[in-house]
Each structure stands twice: as C-alpha cells, then as structure tokens.
With several copies, the nearest count.
Chain A
Amino acid sequence: MAGVELRSVSKRYGKFYAVRNVSLKVEKGEFVSLVGPSGCGKTTTLRLIAGFIAPDGGEVLLDDVSMASVGVRNRQVGIVFQNYALFPNLTAFENVAFGLRTRKVPEEELRSRVEELLAMVGLSGRAAAWPRELSGGQQQRVALARALAIRPKVLLLDEPLSALDAKVRNSLRFEIRRIQRESGITTIYVTHDQEEALSISDRVALMNSGEMEQIGPPGEIYLHPANRFVADFVGVNNLLEGEYLGEGRFRWREHLLSVEDVPLEAGPAALMIRPERLVLAPSEEGADNRLTGTVTGRVFLGPLLRLAVDVEGEQFLVDLLNTETAAPSLDDRVSLTFSSSDARPVGNTGKIPG
C-alpha cells in the first residue's frame, strides 16, 4: 500500500513547468527525501501533495485514494515549515492542541495527547511557553509535535532545518528520524542539503528543473549516480574527463583504466571515483589502476583526513579515517589505486527512476 503516490503530476506557471511529469510512490511508513538545487520543483511537489496547489496534470493519491477533490483541511497531512509557523498568540501547548481542537477532541484526551507529544519532542517542561520564548530548534520541535498531533496520513517537512544553526541542525535531524521511526508515519522531507537527505532517508528522490533525475536508497544514489548531474550534486567526487571505451575500459590521458562495466555508449564520458575509495599504496609496486602523484593538500575534517593529490596536473581527493596510523605529509609522493567496481563512468544524461 502506498502512503503517497504521484502519477505523472505536472504544475505549470504560464509556460514555465515548476513540476513536469513527476511520478513517485512512497510506501507506508517510508521516509523519502526530495532533494535538489533551489527552483528544482521540490517545494512545489510538496505543496501539491499538501493540496495548497492543484496539479495541472496527473494525480496525487494518499493511502491509495485520489485527492483530486479533497482540500487541504480534509487531507489529514501534517506540515512542518522552514520558518516554524507557530501561532505567535498561542502557547506551545495550544499550538500542539490546535489541530485537536478543530477536531473537537474531548479536553481530557487532548490534554494527555499534547503532553505525550511534547514529551516525545523533549519539551515537556515548556508547555506554557510562548513561541517567542523558545529557541529556533525548540520552535521547530513544537511545530513537529503540532503536525503529528492530528495523526496525519503523511508528514510533510519543507526544509525544516534550514533556518537553524549547524549544531542544532545536526542533532534535530536525527531526532526527526527517530520520532518518524517510532510513530511509523509516512514522511516526505524536502531539503537542498544532499548530506542531510542521504543521512536520514530510506530513499532519496533527486529533482532538477522540475523533473526527477533519480530515485533510490542513499547508498545507490551515492555510489551509482545515474548521470553527471546526480554525481555532481550528491557530493565530493573525483570526476575525470576522458573516454569510455565500452566493456569496463576507460581512457584518461595516457592511462587505460579498468572500471565498472555500465550500459553506457562508448565515447566521451566522466569517470567518477569517490574520495574514500581511493587507496594509498606503497609507491613502487606495479599494478592496474595505479596513478602516482604528489600530496599538495591535507585537510582536517573531524573524523576524516582529506588529502589532495596532484596527478599529472589533475587534483584527486582522497579520504582517510583520521586515526593515528601514519598518513602521508605534504609533498610526499604517493600511489593511488582503486578497484574497478569503485570507478563508475557517467554520461551527461540518463535517468534511473526507482
């Protein structure tokens, strides 16, 4: 059973397609992120699901029921906005209670439900607080509790963490996922931050210019991007411009490399190698897929140590776990190797829907 289904949904503004022929099926209880650069249509898609706007073509279904003639207030969706959107003239308690009051839930049941929700988001003690007395992170917790109060069919989050600072963003991200897992609610999470999307989602849907580029689990998106746009968007990558020769062979400058055998036409292509898949090897041995260069940069990224290695004028990034085993220093000569399954040729186009 699908919690949310989009069937070839489009939304036009004049001649501009904000969303074009988008299909997506989200299982009940699944956590799916819509991710992409600003203006890619992810927020429009969310608003189509919520019912704030109506599609020009296609259909939106919640729990397998078409929403064509159902308005926002009857869709039973919980929404969390980037700007929190708490009612400023109501306390935290009354904000969470709002949806229950419109549903005329008896006072006693309402009280216990609100208290349970505030406890769930870790704000039991702040029931009487006004929104302006709460920090941004706390306000967003209240907004989350308010959205969940009505036991929605689907929880829609529109860049819920973008207005918060890095520390709060990181911790709240995992808390949202924990709460989602506990309540088992179907969730659609819109963000422009690929790291955020990859870290908390069951599946990630990557959008660009109103269309779906790829849908899949984080690992698949990360390791097997459908095209260069996806490869570029999902994060740090070594992308080598060269020529795919077919059958798992790729030419980069003078080097003939053994790479993943993908269904891509022979011709100009880019080779994608993740920084953590490049392995440092003693400089002498001869082997396949070996490139020799000089360490030109060394960056400390918390748990990671990121090296920049100059190979024939091209800069390669190499990620090592930041443990005390001897890592090369600046200006050291190093050899980089990689297995053929970690080097993926990508073309400029091509979509892999999930």
Chain B
Amino acid sequence: MEGRRGTWLLLLPLAAVLGFFLLWPLALVLWESLYLDGGFSLENYLTLFVRSLYRESLATSLLLSASTALLGTAIGLPLSYFVYKSGGRTKSFLLALTAVPLTFSGLVVGFAFIVLLGTSGFLTLILRELFGINPLEFSSFLFTWRGLVIAYLYFLIPRMILTMTAAWSNANWSLAEAALSLGAGPLTVLRRVIIPMLAPAILAGSSLLFAVSMGAFGTAFALTGIAVKILPLVIYTHVSELSADIAKADALAIILTLVTTGVIVAYERFFTSPSKA
C-alpha cells in the first residue's frame, strides 16, 4: 500500500516511547530490588527464602493457584462441553451468562462470598437453623486459603468455560468419528483422539487460571484482609505499613511477576510450537 513508509515513521517513536513506558516501571522495580546500600546484591531475594513469612507466602500462593487451576479445569472442562453441546440460542445464552462473572470486580466477588458464607452470611444462617452448625466455625473456613480457592473458582470457572467452548467449536469431530468407525471404544476415543486434540487449549486455560490466581488481590483482600499470607497481600503490607520495606516488596513483586509471566510464556511456547499435537 502507498504511504506505508510514512506510517512507519510516525509510529516508530510512538512505539519506542510506549515500549519504554511499559517496561520501565518493571525494570525499575527489578533494579531497586537488586540495589542495596549502594551496590548490587541478591540479598533481598535471599532473605525471601530465609524468612519463613516469605517462603510461606510463596508456598501458599503457589498452592492456592495450583489448586484453583486444577479444580477450575476439572470443573470447567465438562461444563464447557455441556455449553458447546447445547447449541444455538441456548449456547449463546449460556455463554453470555458465563461471561457475566468475568466483568465483576474481584472485590465484589469477595464481598458476595462474605454475604453468602460469612459469619452472619445468608447460607451460614440457614445452615445454623437447619443443622445447628456453629457459624464461626463454618465461616472460618472461608477466611483461609482454602476458602479463597472457592471464591477464586467463582471467576475462574467461567474463564475456563469460555476458553474451552471455543476449543470445542474448533475441534475436528471427524477425528472422533473416524476412530469410532475403526472400532475404537468411547474411552479410547477420549484418550487417543479427544484429549490430544484439546490438550493445547486445556493447557492454555489452566495456565491462564494459574496466572490469574497468582496475581488476584481484590477478592483475597475483601475476604481475609491481610490474614492469609499470599504474595500480593504480603507485597501490599510492605508498601502500606509504616515500617515500609520497599526493597523486599520489590523482590516479591519481581518473583510474582516472574511466576505469572513464566507460566504464560511457557504455555505460549508450547502452544505455538510447530510440533503441537
């Protein structure tokens, strides 16, 4: 097309400025995390692995993310098949319904769970009436990392459903039909045809779930304040408290970013590699 060179000339400085804008803040955080008393040092990072607060927060975050990714995949996968199979208007309706929780603020989600399952929550009170449970005991579960898993699933299952519904639609069903006609049983078809066919999408979906769980803040904050030590909350306390330890927060932020980015990048490599199955 004509004038392409002109467009490039216009765009290059813009791109440079914005690439800088996007990467600079992060680079700075990295720099600060390595800079200690006028020299470079890995001490901030080493501390993280020495002090149990940091070790535990990283472990909790990983555990939380892995659990939500696993559960979200396990629950979202069959549901997505259901949505895909419903077809026509039903499918459009279900997809629209599924997309709704994605637009909720994480804070609202956390809040809704308090209203539902908190100490004086709606369901808690019903269960007390019906079964005489102890509200404090019951809802204390909600304020642990296991409770966070439940709340996170609320907005992660829809993500999985949306990812997988698209994958089901793009699936080549002739493969399954061919396998059936060649005498394969339903389990063989599932194991040798359908799962290999969907593997990239399933991996994409669960990586996404993992990365989102690692970084989520609003829901956890609304539910537990800073009681459950997950990485984003620990970072927050280091910045907000009077005894602010910026350098530690820097290091934590870098680690959080590395984990989430790493998962997504690793997935991208797999997904876009030419040898995908």
Do A and B originate from a single complex? yes
What would be 18 A-B contacts, judged by CB atoms less than 8 Å apart? A50-B181, A52-B177, A71-B2, A71-B180, A73-B183, A79-B181, A81-B178, A83-B172, A83-B174, A87-B178, A87-B179, A88-B196, A88-B197, A88-B277, A89-B277, A98-B179, A99-B183, A102-B185
| Chain A residue contacts of B175, Cβ below 8 A | 85, 87
What residue in chain A is nearest B184 (Cβ atoms)?
A102
B198 to chain A, nearest CB (A): 12
Q: Please indicate which of the listed interface residues A52, A83, A102 has the most CB atoms of chain B within 10 Å of its own CB.
A: A102
Chain B's nearest CB lies how many Å from the CB of A91? 12
Tell me, in angstroms, the Cα distance from A76 to B192 when the chains sit together.
20
Instruction: State A73–B197 Cα separation when bound (angstroms).
Output: 20
- A68-93 residues with Cβ-Cβ distance < 8 A to B are 71-79, 81, 83, 85, 87-89
Q: How far is the CA of A85 from the CA of B176 in the complex (A)?
A: 9
Decide yes or no whether A150 CB sits under 8 A from chain B. Answer: yes
- In whole angstroms, what is the CA distance A72 to B188 when docked? 14
Contact with A along B134-177 (1 / 0, CB 8 A): 00000000000000000000000000000000000000101101
Chain A residues positioned under 8 Å from B1 (CB to CB):
52
CA distance A102 to B185 in the complex (A): 8
Interchain nearest-CB distance for A257 vs B (Å): 49
Chain B residues numbered 248-277 whose CB sits less than 8 Å from any CB in chain A: 277
A103 close to chain B: CB less than 8 A? yes
Give the size range of B's interface with the partner.
20 to 34
Q: Number of contacting residues on A, CB 8 A?
A: 26
Asked if A72 contacts B2 (CB within 8 A), the reply is yes
Return the chain B residue nearest A79 by Cβ.
Answer: B181
A149 to B2, CA, bound (A): 23
**Set of chain A residues within 8 Å of B184, measured between Cβ atoms:** 73, 98, 102
CA distance A88 to B197 in the complex (A): 8
Interface residues of B in 167-219 (CB under 8 A from A): 172, 174-175, 177-185, 188, 192-193, 196-197
Residues B196 and A99 in contact, CB atoms below 8 Å apart: no
Nearest residue, chain B, Cβ from A100: B182
A87 CA to B1 CA, complexed, in Å: 18
- Measured CB to CB, the residues of A under 8 A from B are 50, 52, 71-79, 81, 83, 85, 87-89, 98-99, 102-103, 143, 146-147, 149-150
Knowing A52-B1, A71-B2, say if A85 contacts B178 (CB, 8 Å).
yes
User: A98 vs B175: C-alpha distance in the bound complex, in angstroms?
Assistant: 12
The B interface, classified by DSSP as helix, strand, loop or mixed, is helix
Given known A71-B2, A73-B184, A102-B183, contact A89–B174 (CB-CB < 8 A): no
Q: Report B-chain residues with C-beta under 8 Å of the C-beta of A99.
A: 182-183
Which of A77, A87, A88, A89 interacts with B181 by CB under 8 Å?
Answer: A77
Give chain A residues whose Cβ lies under 8 Å from the Cβ of B192. Answer: 87
- The residue on A at minimum CB distance from B193 is A87
| Chain B residues closer than 8 Å to A52, beta-carbon distance | 1, 177, 180
Chain A residue contacts of B181, Cβ below 8 A? 50, 72-73, 75, 77-79, 147
Whether B188 lies near A102 (C-beta < 8 A) is yes
Assess whether B277 is in contact with A146, with CB atoms less than 8 Å apart: no
Q: Which of B172, B178, B193 contacts A146 (CB 8 A)?
A: B178
Are A150 and B183 also in contact (CB < 8 A) when A72-B2, A87-B193, A102-B188 are? yes
Which residues of chain A are near B183, meaning CB under 8 Å?
Answer: 73-74, 76, 99, 102-103, 150
What B residues does A102 contact at CB under 8 A? 182-185, 188
C-alpha gap A313/B258 in the complex (Å): 69
Interface residues of B in 1-27 (CB under 8 A from A): 1-2
- Residues of chain A lying within 8 A (CB to CB) of residue B193: 87
Q: Which of B178, B196, B197 has the most CB of A within 10 A?
A: B178
CA–CA, A85 to B173, complex, Å?
Answer: 8
Contact of A85 among B174, B188, B196 (CB under 8 A): B174
With A87-B192, A99-B183, A103-B183 already in contact, the answer to whether A79 and B277 are too (CB < 8 A) is: no
Chain B residue with the shortest CB-CB distance to A149: B182
- By beta carbon, the residue of chain A nearest B174 is A85
Per the bound structure, the CA–CA distance linking A149 and B179 in Å amounts to 13
How far apart are the CA atoms of A71 and B196 in the complex, in Å? 24
Does B188 lie within 8 Å of A79, measured CB to CB? no
Q: Which residue of A lies closest to B178 (CB)?
A: A85
